[in-house]
Structure 1
């Protein structure tokens, strides 16, 4: 884009002179000159075209001189800058021009190399001013947007929270409904808190957030906030302690201090490694300590934990907005990237500083320290004892324990492995699916992969963003491991873009549902997958029990089953081939072979071996081979036993079968 320049000079030849000197830059669109021969004419141009970048102003002009015009510039074009170009180059004129806002001063006669450099420097400065103004305008628009959207969110959230609170207080509320209502309440409050954090960040960015100091008992205020986390800490087997060495009444911004303390405490508890079993009591080795100290001019809040720590690579960026460690880089859940950024910016706003120390080598742990300036309250300023935490803070309630899932399903009913790192969502889904299927649950991808290999479920329902092993990698392992490649995978994730869906499908996922999803849709998709699996099992079974159909090796779609049939074909006449030898040939355990074959055909491996032999025998009998030759060719020791097994499967003796008409498929 061309630099638009207004030249205000009453000399007659100035336009021709500048046009000649800068003809190349005018021709290639770098400079766009306009000319005014008087201050009044310039004023009219500035009013009609307020988008000039640079003004080149002479001082001595008719009607309105350059210095007077210069004083009007902030009103008419606040983002433009003026360069005085004048023969009046004495110090008084230079100082007057600079005091009135001139960006630079060029003396006549003009050195055009110097003028060119001055124009470029001035244009660059104007560009920076406009970019800064654009950033400020966008920040104001974002703040306005977040103000509006927060209001829009708060109304429906209020209409969720208020009725739920009323229902929870009903004396005759069925106990079966209470867990779901508590889940609604807890997550609605969490959503409201996330919205408020985004709003705070937007206000900070726009410079609209102010510090509001009020007198209060800071120690008691923080103690109440910490006590709100005790139930959650106990559920997770964490010893949460609070110590304060700051008695008295102080002036502090209660809302901002609550934001800071809440985020540091929530992070410390959230990123503690999960327990393998429900704790009977808090574990002294799993600790979160909150320590408040300070003096007359400064307070110090330290939140320390004995978690896994933060890696050196991630440590410098943890306070960056929306920064998240790469998936799989930690064994812990991925956060939103908002909380710690808000901690730092609120701390900075109040004139303090925040620091962190962490180690990932034993003894592991992380300590956040926030230091804020602190003033004692005047004796005349009454303190507020036991100040209540802000109502926008979500209650850090423990998640209800996982329900006892029904165990009266038939052993051959479908088995679902549910993998979700959000404990509450995992519990909810398990509770909803348990009446329909056998359900096993895992808290992360690595734990889920072990469970899948042990149990060989019919379907895996998995989140994508998980610690240790994400859903994409888990899907790849399932679909590229012979023992598990038949297992269907349904991915549940908040990552719903087209490219992310393609990533999941390329790894082999059978279904991909974007959160939030309808439970009914999940149930229907599971039903459809299981119906397809049952149809395939029926088809594979019929290929053995109905000799009029094509050979299994010619039509079977499953690659692993085809490999199994190839092994059987290779050892067809070997009567010593049994389940153990077949498992060795396929490089898997007897237990895995049993479950894999049952999942694909509803047959035990021994039944499959025998039925495959008999299916091949049917073709040999049709081709004219004798009963005895056929029996030995398919691995039976005696024709009599062969005849008995053949009749049990096909309801005809081998001799009857060889002369019977061939039924149509």
Structure 2
């Protein structure tokens, strides 16, 4: 990296001396020198090229001395630095220059080794200054961007929420439309809260977030916060309790304390399971008078391992858990807790244990805040804080059902695997108008359901605790009993990498959230139509003698294996469904459902039709009817003839004659 140096000195030989001493660095491009013989000339040069790193300034010059020039530099060259040059007997001026902002000094006669070290040190400092200025500019631009984008988000969200609130007042709470409006309001507010959290993180990063202390009733405020979580706790079948010995008015930042409390309580509920045979799920919130005031949130949840504990306050760090969260995490909640706490001069700590066979699991977060109580004679303010704006109607209040629909018994069976309760119910209700629908709220539960029911299509979210959508798809597509089932993945990840991952696991289609329900319905219809066309093809391969042998054209690997087993036992009239199931490593029931899904035939029908299709080729090859009957596993030629006519509408003899003519 080249260092640009401006030398300001009225002595004629300075230029030649410096060019001679540093010729190698100049030739290498390490140093770039320019020269000015007076302070006024230097100002003109700097105005024309305001990117000098180092100025070598002689203090004593006739028209404008170095000290005067030094006063112009903060405005003209904010990220450059001056090194003052003077004689040893001019230390008073040098001291004045240093006090006025000079970075360093060298004395005449110049020691060039010392000068080079001074230039390098000054240039390094200037590079650091410029890097800091660049980082500050980026941080300011980022904050400006977040301010703007947040405003752009808040405006449409406001235009969503305001009409929804008006419409909610017009509809009866038992009406289906009221349920849909509640869902819109709830998710719009959730989105608004996430946007506000991101903005706070951006402001914290660049030091633009300020503490805004206001008097208020701290106990009542935290109590409102806990009370607002009650419906959510009831939905999870948890016990949520609040205890406090704090009273009176306090001076605190309600919004930041609210953010801290919200994230800690939400996190505790998120990772605490419901009732257990030995232990009921519980979350306890305590507010203890100080100094400092302590807010503790304890839960009886799964706990945090020792390996994860040091990282939980890192931004975007998420702890894997077998407990299904109410909402998918973002990894910013606990980071925001820590940074807001420290912004207010407090501390946060955590104790946790995943538990053993003899010790219970659980986690306790403790936040100490140096906030002050107000005396009785100090004025109070309205301490109401819009806590309820963070807590729109919980999902448990969205239970109004759509009018029951009864799809046809032969309608396609769809399994929806989605850990978000609201989205899962919404998808199920939409699809029930045309299909039979089963639902699961986790990958493991979905996999068990898929193995039992063998649906036509699985619609699965990607991001789920435990077995995610990718792993579920892999299981479906690598298990012989289920590999024919179509899979549609739903995800908020819109990147090509995530789409490729899903497709590599065998997914048949991919929808990015948010998606139109009409688009999902069309994609589902297309998948089912494709499956139906394949079923008809596999049927026709067995029913139409003019088509090639099924083994030559069948696309499904599992059917090819099944046909190979039938070929190996073609002349065995005693070969049964149970034996075929053993060869295919499936139960007879699962084999039946798999064959029905692929061909719409029963297992017995498939075996019979495959034998008859093989008989067609034998008759064409000149074998007699009776011989052919025994070769394809029929006990009697008469029964063979009866079955052959049912499928091909001619007797075996008539077929053989027609093939010869």
Please report the TM-score for the alignment, with normalisation by the length of structure 2.
Answer: 0.94
Indicate the SS of the match to 1:243. Answer: strand
Query: What does the per-residue CA deviation read over 1:631-653, in whole Å, with 9 as the maximum and x for residues that have no partner?
Result: 11111122222222222222222
1:49-68 matched pairs, under 5 angstroms: 49-68=49-68
Cα drift, residue 661 of structure 1: 4.9
Structure 2 residue 367 is the aligned partner of structure 1 residue 367:
no
Query: What does the per-residue CA deviation read over 1:513-543, in whole Å, with 9 as the maximum and x for residues that have no partner?
Result: 1111111000000000000000100110111
Q: Structure 1 residues 6 and 89 mapped into 2: Cα distance closer, same or farther (>3 Å)?
A: farther
**CA distance in 1 between partners of 2:243 and 2:271 (Å):** 22
Worse-superposed segment, 102-111 or 619-628? 102-111
**CA distance in 2 between partners of 1:411 and 1:288 (Å):** 45
Query: What does the per-residue CA deviation read over 1:227-265, in whole Å, with 9 as the maximum and x for residues that have no partner?
Result: 001011001111111111212221111111111111111
What's 2:295 paired with? 301
1:641-656 matched pairs, under 5 angstroms: 641-656=639-654
Structure 2 residue 343 is the aligned partner of structure 1 residue 349:
yes
Structure 2 residue 93 is the aligned partner of structure 1 residue 96:
no
Structure 2 residue 282 is the aligned partner of structure 1 residue 287:
yes
**CA distance in 1 between partners of 2:400 and 2:568 (Å):** 50
Q: Please tell me whether the aligned partners of residues 566 and 607 of structure 2 are also in contact (alpha carbons under 8 angstroms).
A: yes
What's 2:392 paired with? 395
The correspondence for 1:380, drawn from 377, 380, 387, is 377
Q: Please tell me whether the aligned partners of residues 405 and 431 of structure 1 are also in contact (alpha carbons under 8 angstroms).
A: no
Q: Please tell me whether the aligned partners of residues 461 and 491 of structure 2 are also in contact (alpha carbons under 8 angstroms).
A: yes
Q: Please tell me whether the aligned partners of residues 217 and 385 of structure 1 are also in contact (alpha carbons under 8 angstroms).
A: no
What's 1:249 paired with? 249
Query: What does the per-residue CA deviation read over 1:588-611, in whole Å, with 9 as the maximum and x for residues that have no partner?
Result: 222221111110000111111111
1:55-454 matched pairs, under 5 angstroms: 55-88=55-88, 91-171=91-171, 175-273=175-273, 285-295=280-290, 297-325=291-319, 332=325, 334-362=328-356, 363-383=360-380, 387-390=384-387, 392-395=389-392, 397-399=394-396, 400-401=398-399, 403=401, 408-454=406-452
**CA distance in 2 between partners of 1:331 and 1:401 (Å):** 20
Q: Please tell me whether the aligned partners of residues 215 and 383 of structure 2 are also in contact (alpha carbons under 8 angstroms).
A: no
**CA distance in 1 between partners of 2:602 and 2:515 (Å):** 38
Q: Structure 1 residues 315 and 588 mapped into 2: Cα distance closer, same or farther (>3 Å)?
A: same
Indicate the SS of the match to 2:221. Answer: helix
Q: Please tell me whether the aligned partners of residues 236 and 282 of structure 1 are also in contact (alpha carbons under 8 angstroms).
A: no
What's 1:507 paired with? 505
Q: Structure 1 residues 662 and 130 mapped into 2: Cα distance closer, same or farther (>3 Å)?
A: farther
Q: Please tell me whether the aligned partners of residues 86 and 94 of structure 2 are also in contact (alpha carbons under 8 angstroms).
A: no
Q: Please tell me whether the aligned partners of residues 352 and 361 of structure 2 are also in contact (alpha carbons under 8 angstroms).
A: yes
Query: What does the per-residue CA deviation read over 1:182-212, in whole Å, with 9 as the maximum and x for residues that have no partner?
Result: 1100001111111111222222223222212
Query: What does the per-residue CA deviation read over 1:317-365, in whole Å, with 9 as the maximum and x for residues that have no partner?
Result: 2222233347x89865651122222211111111111122222234222
What's 1:528 paired with? 526
Indicate the SS of the match to 1:379. Answer: coil
**CA distance in 2 between partners of 1:431 and 1:462 (Å):** 16
What's 2:27 paired with? 27
**CA distance in 1 between partners of 2:634 and 2:405 (Å):** 42
**CA distance in 2 between partners of 1:5 and 1:620 (Å):** 97
**CA distance in 1 between partners of 2:177 and 2:506 (Å):** 37
Query: What does the per-residue CA deviation read over 1:157-177, in whole Å, with 9 as the maximum and x for residues that have no partner?
Result: 111111111111115577121
Worse-superposed segment, 305-314 or 462-471? 305-314
Query: What does the per-residue CA deviation read over 1:441-499, in whole Å, with 9 as the maximum and x for residues that have no partner?
Result: 11122222222122111111111111111222222221121111111111111111122
What's 1:12 paired with? 12
Worse-superposed segment, 441-450 or 592-601? 441-450
1:472-483 matched pairs, under 5 angstroms: 472-483=470-481
Cα drift, residue 5 of structure 1: 1.2
Structure 2 residue 454 is the aligned partner of structure 1 residue 460:
no
Q: Structure 1 residues 183 and 282 mapped into 2: Cα distance closer, same or farther (>3 Å)?
A: farther
**CA distance in 2 between partners of 1:101 and 1:437 (Å):** 78
Q: Structure 1 residues 544 and 219 mapped into 2: Cα distance closer, same or farther (>3 Å)?
A: same
The correspondence for 2:620, drawn from 615, 622, 626, is 622
**CA distance in 1 between partners of 2:521 and 2:600 (Å):** 23
Worse-superposed segment, 255-264 or 618-627? 618-627
Q: Please tell me whether the aligned partners of residues 491 and 511 of structure 2 are also in contact (alpha carbons under 8 angstroms).
A: yes
**Root-mean-square deviation over aligned CA pairs:** 2.3
Cα drift, residue 373 of structure 1: 0.3
**CA distance in 2 between partners of 1:381 and 1:604 (Å):** 85
Structure 2 residue 540 is the aligned partner of structure 1 residue 542:
yes
What's 1:490 paired with? 488
Cα drift, residue 284 of structure 1: 6.1
Indicate the SS of the match to 2:281. Answer: strand
Q: Structure 1 residues 322 and 170 mapped into 2: Cα distance closer, same or farther (>3 Å)?
A: same
Indicate the SS of the match to 1:465. Answer: coil
Q: Please tell me whether the aligned partners of residues 220 and 387 of structure 1 are also in contact (alpha carbons under 8 angstroms).
A: no
Any gaps of 5 or more consecutive residues in structure 2?
none
**CA distance in 1 between partners of 2:229 and 2:607 (Å):** 60
Cα drift, residue 68 of structure 1: 2.1
Q: Please tell me whether the aligned partners of residues 464 and 493 of structure 1 are also in contact (alpha carbons under 8 angstroms).
A: yes
Query: What does the per-residue CA deviation read over 1:265-323, in whole Å, with 9 as the maximum and x for residues that have no partner?
Result: 112222334x5xxx8x999621111111032x311101111221223333222222233
**CA distance in 1 between partners of 2:426 and 2:260 (Å):** 31
Q: Please tell me whether the aligned partners of residues 426 and 441 of structure 1 are also in contact (alpha carbons under 8 angstroms).
A: yes
The correspondence for 1:592, drawn from 580, 584, 590, is 590
